[in-house]
Structure formats: C-alpha cells, structure tokens
Chain A
Amino acid sequence: MQKREFNKLLLYIFALVGVTISVFPFYWMFTASTLTESQIFKVPPTLVPDGNFMDNLNNLTEGWPIWSALINSLVVSGITTITTIFFSALAGYAFAKYRFKGREPLFISVLLIMMVPTQVMLVPMFIIMMNFNWIDSYFALIVPYLVTPFGVFLMRQQMLAFPDDLIEAAKIDGCKDFGIFFRIVLPVMKPACAALGIVTFMHSWGNFIWPLVVVSSEELYTLPLLLSMMVQPGQVVQYGQVMVAAAIGLVPMLLLFLFFQKHFVSGVFGGSVKG
C-alpha cells in the first residue's frame, strides 16, 4: 500500500513539474507584457504582473505597426483558410466519391507534393513572384496558399466515410453534382471542415519564412514578421513591448482553441490521431 501511494505521488510530481515547464513561458510572456524593462530584468525576477501593460502598448503602437500587422495576419490567414477549406473539400470529394480517368496518378501527385518542404521551393517561388510583380503585395502572401495538398489529402480521407446512400438519394431526387456537394456533402462534413480550417489558420498564422522573403514594407508585415523585426540584431530590444505584441498574436490562437477544442485535436493531428 505504501509503495502504491509513493508511486502515485511520483506521478503527480512528474505531472506538476512537466505542466509547469510547459505553461511557464506563457505565464512569463503575459506577465512581462505588464512590466517595465527594468522590472523584467530585475534580480531577483518580478514574477507577478504589474500595471504597465498600457504603457507598453502605447509605446508599441507608436514605434511599430502592430495593428496593421494584426489585420494583415487576420486577413491573410482568414482568406487562405476559407479558400483552403472550400477548394480542398471540392477536390477531396472528387477524389473520394468519383471514379474518373487519371484519379490514381493525380492523387499520388497530391501525396508526393505534400512531402516536399516549402522551403525547397523558396527561390523559384521568389522568382515567380518577381515575374508576376507580386513582391511586397497581398497577392504574394495569399495566392500561393489558396489551397494546400495537405487539405486535399485530409478532406479525401474524411470524405471516404461519407455515406454513398445520401448521394444516391439526392441524385434520385434530381439533385445535380454541384447541388449535392453544396447542399448535402458540405453541411455533413462541417466537423472535417472545421478541423482543416483550424490547422490551416494555425499554419498561416505562424508562417514566417515566406513573408520574410516576399514582404519588405512595414504596412505588409504579418505578426511573426513584425515580431522578428522587433528583435533584429543591432537595435535595443524593448522586451516589454515585444511581449505585448507576442500576447496580441497569441490571443486569437487561444480563442480559436477555446471555441473549437474538439476539432482542434483532429485537425492538428490530421489522420494520425483517431477519435
């Protein structure tokens, strides 16, 4: 009995230490955003929030385009998320429920391109953007991400389970292919769409290397780009302001998680986690 209690205690200690390490950076980020520079770097450290959030925020908005970066991130992530859901569902539905010439090789091409890291295409993509005259424009940030191979793959996997009887019944009722997709398939596939939407939004929200390459003017900064510019070498980093900006960028993700917790796990882990 004693040994059992001891094991249980060990379990709780492990969980407590682990969760503390896991959560502390978040706590420190939010706390530091309410502190002055000297409080942040005080010895011993200030561990409780203070009242300097508004000062930090005001200094931040004076020196950096934080609101336009927030809006840019929301616009870019919002648009690409909606189009990715829609186009992926369309293609996924076709791959899962139609038999057509070339289906197999085309689907294999989806799988193959999924494995090519985007960084590999950075240089040719940059040259394409130059040729299109899209450098430093919303087009560069949005158009290449209108739909992703991962989205098509995820949707196809989910659509495989869609009951054929429903499609058949709709056909008998005189519904055309597009009608079936819009009125029957899309509404039933809402959870899958939500899952894909979350993972797409998250990827887009955190996308860093692409905006870094194609954006140069401040008005087009997305949040990660703005954050990285705030700590560029050769300038005095104002950590209080940086942490306010970081907190502003994190809040939408936390809200998204709060509202879509269930879809979150199935989206983030794609096909790898069931249930």
Chain B
Amino acid sequence: MPSIETKKQNLNYTQPSVNKKKFSLLNLSPYVFITPYFLIFAVFMLYPLIYSFVLSFSKWRAGVTTFVGLENYKMLLTDPFFWKSLGTTGLILVIQVPIMLILATIIATVVNSEKLRFKGLIRLGFFLPVLIDLVTYALVFSLLFNETYGMVNQGLNAIGIGDIKWFSDGTWAKILIILAVTWRWTGYNSVIILSGLQAVPKDLYESASIDGASKITSFFKITVPLLKPVLLFCGIISTIGTLQLFAEPFVLTGGGPREETTTVILYLYDKAFGNFDFGLASAGAYVVTTIIAILSYFQIRITKGGEI
C-alpha cells in the first residue's frame, strides 16, 4: 500500500497535468463514446476486409462460396489485361505526380511572393478545382476535349497544330487523363506546399541574398530542401490517389480506346460487376491494397502519423 501511495504522490508531484486527465478508472463513458464508430467499423470495414480476404481464395456463385486455393491469384497474375491496367496506372502515376508537384511548387512560390498583389484572388482561382466533384469535371473535360468540335482542338487548329485524337488514340487518351487529373489536384497540392513555404523562416533568404545568392539559387538551396517533407507527403497522398483512379477513366474515356486507359481499379470494377467474378476481383483488391499499404507505411514513417 505505501508504495502505491508514494507512486500517486510522485505522479501528482511530477506530472500534475497527466493526473488531471485521469477521470475515474472504472469509467464506462469512453467505451460508450466509441461504440457507434466501432459498430460501423466492425460491420462495414473490418468484416468486409476479412470477407474479401476469404473471397480472394474462393469462387462465388449465387451466394455460395467454394474454396479454390490460389486459383484467383493465378488467374489474375496471368491475365495480360491486369498487367496492362497496372502498367497504365503506373505510367500515369510516374508522369502525372512529378509534373503536378513541380507545378504546385511553382504556384505556391508565386502565390507566396511578396511582390504579388491580388493574392487572395489568385489563390482562390487556383483552389477552385478542389470544389468540383470528379464526375462533373470529367464531363466538362469530355466536352472541352471533344475531338471534332471541342474547344481545345479548335484552339489547336487555329494555331496550326491540327486536331488531336484525345479519345481514339491510346497515348493521347492517357495524356488527356493526366491533364485532367493535374487540373483537378494541382491547386490542392499547392495549398499544402504553400503552408510549408510559409513555415520557412524569412531571414534565411535575407542572409542568402546578403551572401550574394540569386533568387533561383536560394530557391534550390533553401526552399526545396526545407520543403522536402511536405513534398514527400504530397507525393505519397497523390500516389495513393492515383492508384485509386476510377471516375476519370470511367466517365471520360470508358477505359478505352482498346483498354488503353483502363486503370487497375477500373479493371477490378469490370471484373467484379461486369463479369461478377467476385473472387478474382477480391484477389486483385488485395494486390492493390498491398501496394498501397507499402506506400502508406512510408507515409506514416515520413509524416509521423499525419503531421508534417
């Protein structure tokens, strides 16, 4: 008993703030507070996750699941269209994310510049695409990039470049998706990067300019290194987002032409709700989850749980 007493006193003495937080030990309230969330979690998150794992080793027919071992994974990994969709997703990822982050960094730097007036308005302009939902902006893009009458091709015609086959050529269709995604998400990322820029102490630039460094030099020697964590954070959330690309190819190109813009989630959607091959789709979902999990692991390590 005395040891408990001294412990308590010690606790009181050394960490009064911790002790304040403690209400009562046998308090049921926190459990009541978290119950609604964990009910939803159990039924609509945890159970589906486990169920989907079971399904990935089964054939599903009219509500009856039969165990088939690794067959789904074998089928999936030998399907050239799966690899093609994964390759397309990877290609879009590797090209789109760096372009977007470079653009977003430039935009953030420009908006942060002291010389610029109308800052609020410019910021609002870049931020606006965040407000539009994915289906709606994909529709507007399909109108803008219409091959025969779209405004973009008319503009390209006017300056002598001629029509671009945005929908009937595989490469251009991919570029269209990249352009669309970049339009939608660059402003979003530039707001995050801007918050990182504003955390860079101003006197660093002053002393650099006294030492004779040019604006460009101090951008690469001061800004970029200090922005590294923020850029990494943006890179990883963008990577995860791109791996889940679905609405844009679904609405804009329908995955075509000739499956050229079928992303991996679109492929899995087709397998699941076109062919009703739930087993295969679940196996694919687990493969994608594993890829995302590996990347998320890096996200946690780099950002230490959501904070930069």
Q: Which residues of A contact B (CB under 8 A)?
A: 7-8, 11-12, 14-15, 18-19, 21-23, 25-26, 28-29, 32, 40-45, 87-88, 90-91, 93-95, 97-100, 103, 106, 109-111, 113, 115-117, 119-128, 130, 143-144, 146-147, 149, 152-153, 157, 164-165, 168, 171, 177-178, 181, 202, 205-206, 208-209, 213, 223-224, 227-228, 231, 233, 239, 242-243, 246, 249-250, 253-254, 257, 265, 268-275
Contacts and interface: CB of A to CB of B under 8 A. Distances in A.
Interface in B250-271: 250-251, 254, 265, 268-269
Contact of B136 (A144, A177, A249): A249
Contact of B143 (A32, A103, A130, A233): A32
Nearest to B300: A111
B136 A250 contact: yes
Interface stretch (B7-15, B20-28, B76-84, B218-226): B20-28
Contacts of A250: 131-132, 136
Nearest to B308: A272
B133 A25 contact: no
Nearest to B285: A120
B233 to A, nearest CB: 7
B128 A213 contact: no
Contact of A41 (B149, B254, B281): B149
A181 B133 contact: no
Given A22-B187, A149-B41, A257-B131, A124 B34 contact: no
Contacts of A40: 143, 149
Contacts of A7: 115, 215
A272 B235 CA distance: 13
- At the interface, is chain A mostly helix, strand, loop or mixed? helix
A265 B191 contact: yes
Please provide the 10 A-B residue pairs with the shortest distance between their CB atoms, ordered closest to farther.
A206-B133, A19-B125, A41-B149, A94-B33, A124-B48, A98-B30, A177-B29, A94-B30, A224-B135, A124-B51
Interface in B39-58: 40-41, 43-49, 51-52, 55
A177 B139 contact: no
A270 B307 CA distance: 10
Given A22-B183, A124-B55, A177-B29, A28 B140 contact: yes
A223 B233 CA distance: 32
A15 B129 contact: no
A45 B137 CA distance: 20
B27 A98 contact: yes
B132 A26 contact: yes
A84 B273 CA distance: 29
Contacts of A117: 240, 243-244, 288-289, 292
A208 B143 contact: no
Nearest to A246: B136
B94 interface: no
